[in-house]
Structure 1
C-alpha cells in the first residue's frame, strides 16, 4: 500500500514576490512604481488651470519661436522670473509640433508629468544605496502617492522639474565619489537645475555640507561607511571642481547670460526675490510680503500625507537609531533636507511649492522612520529566553534592518 499523497502548501504572496524578484531582479518593482506614479499623475492632468500656467505656456511659445528661428540674441531670452528652460523648451516643442492632438494646456503639462512620475523611481535608486529593498520601495510609494506632489506634477510649472534634478544631482554625486562619469552626470544635472529655478543654487551648500557631515560623523563615532569618501584636501577638490565646472558650463548655455551685463541682473533679481520679498505669499489665508520663519513647519502637515508625517515624526524622535549607521548616503539625505528647509524658511518670498524640492528626501526619511518602528515591534514581539539572567543578546538582523542592503 503506497504512502498517502500530501499536497504541497500553496506558496504565500511574499514567497511569490520573492521568487519573482529572484528571477527578474528589481525590474518588477521599478515597473510597478513607475506605473502607479504615472497613472495617478496622468489621471489629473487636465482637471484645472492656474494663472501661473498661462504665463509659462506663453513663455514656452516664445522660446519655441526663438529656437525655430535660431535667434539666440541675449535680450530675447530674458526671463520673466526663473529661467524655466528645462520645462519651457519641451513644453514649446510639444504645444507647437503636436498642435491639435490635445488641448494646449494639457500638452504643456506633459513634461512636468513625466518628470514627476520618474521622481519616485529615482528616489528608489537613491534609497537603495543605504537601505534595503523594502525601505526603498516604501519611500518611492510614499512619494508616488503624495497628493501635493501629484497635483504639482499635473500643472505647467517648474517646481516638480526642480525636485527631479535636485534628486538626480545628489544621487549622481554620491555615485560620482567612485566614478568620474557619475560626477559629470551630477554636474550636468546641477546645471539643468540652475536652468530650472533659482533655488537650485542650494545644491552647492547641500553637497559640501553632506561631505563635511559624513566625514565628521564617521570620524567622531569611529564607524560608518566612509570608505567611498575621498580624503579631504587634494583628492576632494578636483572632484568638486569637476562637478561645479560641469554645472556652470551647462548653465552658461542660457543665451541670456551671453551678455556679461545680465549676470549682475540675475544675482540682483535673485536677492530681490528671496531676500527682500519680490511678491506676496499667501500664508494662513492672508497675503504677506514677509512670511514668518516657521511657515514651513506649519505648512508641512497641510501638504504632506498623514503616513509621511507620522514616519517623519518617528524618524525625528529616533534619529540616532533610524539613521544609523552613518554613511555618505545618509549624510546626503540629511543635508538635502535640512539645508534647503532652513534656507527656504528664511527666504522672504517662497510659497508652499518650494517644498516640492525636498519632498523626495522627506519621503525617504519617513520610510526610515516606519522601518525603525517595524524593527522595534519585531523586537518587542520576539520571546526572550526563559531563565536567562542579565541583558539578552542583541537580536539577529532581520530582512528589514536598516543597515541591511538586501
Structure 2
C-alpha cells in the first residue's frame, strides 16, 4: 500500500470514528432528554382510565400468563396487549421490591408508578430509535432537531408516563412508518430488513390499539407512491414483492404477542371488531366539550384545534415555515424551475409521505363520532419531524453559519427545553400552546383534566380534621380514592347522594365542562370552595362542604356571618342531644363557643352545655365551612314534668362576650341575656 493510500485509509477511519462519536453523542443527549421527564416521579396521580380500568386489566393479564390461561389475556377489545405486557413487567418489578397492589382506596400511587415504568422506558427508547431512523432519511441537523423536539413534546411526555395505550401506539406507528420510508430509500437487497422491521412495529401497534388498522392500507399506498423505482408498473412490482413481507411480519407479531390468539383467535379478533363498532363508533357515553359547549361529537374542527393548542410554539412555527417553503418551491416550479419540488429530492419525498400520513390519520379520526385530543397523538412525532424540516429550510443561512457548533447549540437548546418541562412537571397534561393562550383558553375550547390534581385534593383532605364526618362526594371517584384513607368512602357526586351527611364534595373540570350532573353541581356551588387546584391557568378541582342536615329550620345569623341553618335534637335517657347545623358565611378567626341553656317557666337555667362551635378543630374559619358538632345536655333527674325552652347563643371564651344576633327572633334579654335565640320547646314527661 502506498503512503498516499495509507493516508486516505487513515483519513476515512478518522472520519468514520468522528461520525460515530457524533452519532452516539447525539443519541445519548436525546436518550437523556427523552428518558428523564418520562420516568421521574411516576407516582403522581391516577388518570381516569387508570382509576377505572388498567391496573385491574394488568393484574388479570399477569395472572392469566402465570396460570397459562391464554384465553383470559383477551381483556379488552383495544386490545391493549402491549400495555398489559409492559404493565405486568412493572407489576413484577414492584413485587420484587415489596410493592404490591394496595387496592382501590388509600394506597397512593407508588404501585401505579411501577406499572407505568416499563411503558415510559419503551416510549423513551422509541425516541432514540426514531432519531437513528431519521438520520437515514434526513440531514443530521434535521434529524437531531426532530429528535429533540420529539423527546421534549409535553403532549408526548404526558401520555408516555401513564399506563395507557396512546403513547405506545404512537411509538410503534412512528417507528413502523419511518422504517418503511428507510426501506423505500434503498435498493431491494437492502430494503427487506427495514420492511421486516416496519412490519414488526406495525404488529406491535396492532396489538396496542385499533387506530393502527390504518397502517395496512397506508403502507400499501406509500409503497405505490414512494417506492424507490421509476414508473407506476415498477412501483406496483416493488409493492407486490415487499407488501406481503410487511403484512406477514405484522400478522406474525400479533399472533406471537397475544396468547389469546393461540387458543381462540376468532373471539380475540371479534373483541377488536366489537370495540371499533360499539365504542369507537359512537360518541362517548359521558359526552364531550368543544368551544365552550357540551356536545356529543365536537365535529371536524376538533382535531385542527387540538393541533393548535397541543403543539409547542416551536412545532407550530416550524409547520408554518414548512408550508411557506413548500409554497415558494411550488411557485418556482410553476415558473419553470424543474429543480423545485422535484420528486427526485429524497427528503422531499419523505416529507410528502409524512404529510400524507398526517392528513389521512386526521381524516380517519374526524369521521369517528368519539373524539379526544389524545387520539391524535400518533401524528405528533411526524409533526415534530415536519416542523424541523420547516425550520431548517427557512434558517439555512443561520444554520450554515453555525454548522460547526450544531450539536453544542442543540444540546444547549435541549437543556432549555428540559427547564421548561420541569416547570410543568408532573402536569404535562396542563401544557397548552401559549401562542393561542395556553391553559386559560384551552379550558374554553376542549376538555381539560384527566385525573391530574386529584392527588392534591387528597392531600388537602387528609389534613382536614373533620374528614371522618361522612363520605366524600366526587366525580370520577377512582382518581381520588387512592389518596385518602381507605376508611373514608368516596361516592359519586350524583343528585341522589346530596341528601347524605357528607364531609366534603369535589367538583372536577372535565365533568363541569361536560355538564354531567348540573343539579348536583349547582347545589354544591352554593357553597364557596374551601380549596382550589389550579395549574398553569387551568381550574382543575374545587373542594366544597355541603350544609349539615337538620330536622328543624332556624335561619339565624350571629356575629359576622355565623349562620345557624337549623338543628336536630334527640332525648337519650336523661341527656338531650342538640345538633346544630352551622354555616360560615365570611372568613374569620375560630375559637367561638356555643351554649345551650334549658330554661324553666321562670327563666331559670336548669341545665346547660358549653362547647366550641367546631369542637376546636380549626384556628380560622373560611367561608363555606359547615359544622354540626353534637351538644349533649345532661338533664337533672329531679326535673319536674313541664315545658322547657331550649335556647342557644355564641360567645368568645377569652372574655365571655356574646356575639350579637344579626338575624332571627331574639329572646328578651331579661330572660337570658343578649344574643340568644329560642330553638324549641321541650315537653318533659316522667
Which TM-score bucket, shorter chain as reference? 0.7 to 0.9
Show CA shifts across 1:285-321 (max 9, x none). Answer: 5553322111011111211111111111111232254
Quick check: 1:86 aligned with 2:98? Answer: no
Do the aligned partners of 1:173 and 1:182 also contact (CA within 8 Å) in 2?
Answer: yes
Pick aligned residue for 2:197 from 185, 192, 204? 185
Q: Distance in 1 between matches of 2:265 and 2:134?
A: 41
* 101 and 131 in structure 1: CA distance in 2 versus 1, 3 angstrom threshold: farther
Find out whether 1:375 has 2:424 as its counterpart. Answer: no
Q: Which string of whole-angstrom CA distances, capped at 9 and with x for unpartnered residues, describes residues 33-78 of structure 1?
A: 10111112223423322121131111011100000001113xx233
Where in structure 2 are the equivalents of 1:119-198 lying within 5 Å?
119-177=126-184, 178-198=190-210
Contact 1:281 1:291 in 2 (8 A): yes
Select which of 270, 275, 278 maps to 1:269: 275
Please, which of 23, 28, 36 is the counterpart of residue 25 of structure 2?
Answer: 28
* The one of 268, 288, 291 aligned to 2:298: 291
CA-based RMSD: 3.1
Q: How does 1:6-17 map to 2 (within 5 A)?
A: none
User: 2:351, 2:386 within 8 Å by CA — same for their partners in 1?
Assistant: no
Change (3 A) 1:376 1:119: same
Instruction: Work out whether residues 167 and 377 of structure 2, in 8 Å CA contact, stay in contact via their aligned partners in 1.
Output: yes
| Equivalent of residue 333 in structure 1, options 350, 354, 361 | 354
Is 1:85–1:196's contact at 8 Å kept on the other side of the alignment? yes
Higher helix share: 1
**In structure 1, what is the Cα distance between the partners aligned to 2:252 and 2:219?**
18
Shift of 1:23: 6.5
Report the 3-state secondary structure (helix = DSSP H, G, I; strand = E; otherwise coil) of the residue aligned with 2:321: helix
Q: TM-score, normalised by structure 1?
A: 0.78
Once structures 1 and 2 are overlaid, which stretch shifts more, 116-125 or 85-94? Answer: 116-125
Q: CA deviation at 1:377?
A: 6.5
TM-score (norm 2): 0.48
**Which protein has the bigger strand share?**
2
Structure 1: 5+ residue stretches without partners? 1-17, 216-224, 382-397, 401-406
Q: CA deviation at 1:118?
A: 2.1
Distance 1:277 1:305 in 2: 28
User: C-alpha deviations, 1:85-121, integer Å up to 9, x for none?
Assistant: 1111121132135324562110111122112212332
Give the Cα–Cα distance (whole angstroms) in 2 for the partners of residues 331 and 399 of structure 1: 29
Residues 262 and 45 of structure 1, relative CA distance in 2, 3 Å threshold: closer
> Would you say the 8 A contact 1:282–1:351 is kept in 2?
no
Counterpart Cα distance in 2 of 1:125 and 1:43: 24
Runs of 4+ in 1 over 6 A off after TM superposition: 227-230, 376-379
Displacement of 1:362:
0.2
Structure 2 match to 1:47: 44
Structure 1 residue corresponding to 2:57, chosen from 47, 56, 59: 59
Q: CA deviation at 1:251?
A: 1.8
Pair 309,77 (structure 1): closer, same or farther in 2 beyond 3 Å: same
Note the residue ranges of structure 2 that are not aligned, 5 or more in a row. 1-14, 100-109, 185-189, 331-339, 406-686
Aligned to 1:239: 242
Asked whether the 8 Å contact 2:130–2:174 carries over to 1, the reply is yes
| Structure 1 residues 139 and 68: alpha-carbon distance in aligned structure 2, compared to 1, 3 A threshold | same
In the TM superposition, residue 186 of structure 1 has moved relative to its aligned partner by 1.6
Q: Is the contact between residue 170 and residue 332 of structure 1 (CA under 8 Å) also seen in structure 2?
A: no
Q: Which residue of 1 aligns with 2:623?
A: none
Q: Are residues 1:351 and 2:358 paired? A: no
8 Å CA contact 1:206–1:336 kept in 2: the answer is yes
The partner residue of 1:212 within 204, 224, 231 is: 224
* 8 Å Cα contact 2:225-2:235 kept in structure 1: no
Classify 1:140/1:267 alpha carbon distance in 2 versus 1 (closer, same or farther; 3 Å).
same
**Is 1:340–1:358's contact at 8 Å kept on the other side of the alignment?**
yes
Write the distance in 1 (CA, Å) between the matches of 2:399 and 2:236. Answer: 44
Deviation at 1:80, TM superposition (A): 3.1
**2:229–2:235 Cα contact (<8 Å) kept:** no
> Do 1:206 and 1:335's aligned partners in 2 also have CA atoms closer than 8 Å?
no
The 8 Å contact of residues 112 and 153 in structure 1, kept in 2 or not, is answered as yes
Residues in 2 aligned to 1:252 and 1:30: alpha-carbon distance in whole angstroms: 32
Worse-superposed segment, 91-100 or 340-349: 91-100
When Rg is computed on C-alpha atoms for both structures, the one with the higher figure is 2
Per the TM alignment, residue 337 of structure 1 is displaced from its structure 2 partner at its CA by 1.7
1:243 deviation in Å? 0.9
Q: 1:182 to 1:377 in 2, by over 3 A?
A: closer
* Partner Cα separation in structure 1 for residue 154 and residue 98 of structure 2: 28
Offset of residue 165 of structure 1: 0.6
Partner of 1:403: none
Contact 1:41 1:150 in 2 (8 A): yes
Distance 1:44 1:24 in 2: 32
Distance 2:259 2:294 in 1: 35
Question: Which residue of structure 1 lines up, in the alignment, with residue 315 of structure 2?
Answer: 308
Q: Which stretch of structure 1 is more off in the superposition, 340-349 or 176-185?
A: 176-185
Question: Using the alignment, how far apart are the partners of 2:118 and 2:326 within structure 1?
Answer: 36
Tell me the matched-pair count.
355
Q: Return the alpha-carbon distance in structure 1 between the equivalents of residues 260 and 283 of structure 2.
A: 24
2:387 is the alignment partner of 1:366: yes
Structure 1 residues 44 and 151: CA distance shift in structure 2, 3 A: farther
Decide whether the 8 Å contact of 1:143 with 1:149 is kept in 2.
yes
